[in-house]
Amino acid sequence: MTPSWTAVVAGSRWLQRVLVVLCAIVPLLVVTLACTPALVVLPFLPAHSARATAIVRQLIAWTRTALIASRSR
């Protein structure tokens, strides 16, 4: 039995979403790994804890945007 047209389209949409999320997650992981040394050192310096907090908030915002954008389509 061959799959119906709607099943093929639904399967391709699912695969497209997975590929888009994977392509968005890879740069996010690279940025997170690049920020890790700063996040380990900055909180222990007196004047730089606010900068570490800003980095973490930006990473959270990027992650939320990537997840919400992948769901809305």
Q: What is the pLDDT of residue 1?
A: 53
Query: What is the span of the domain harbouring residue 62?
Result: 24-73
Q: Looking at the domain assignment, is residue 71 inside a domain?
A: yes
Residue at 35 is within a domain: yes
- 14 found inside a domain: no
> How many residues would you count in the chain?
73
In a domain, 45, yes or no: yes
* Continuous H helices in 1-73: 5-41, 49-71
Is 12 inside a domain boundary? no
CA distance linking residue 60 with residue 18, whole number of Å? 20
- Is residue 40 one of the residues assigned to a domain? yes
Query: How confident is the model over 18-47, as pLDDT tens digits?
Result: 787 788 788 888 888 888 888 788 778 777
Write down the pTM of the prediction. 0.53
Could you give the number of structural domains in the chain? 1
C-alpha neighbours within 13 Å on the C-beta side of residue 54: 6
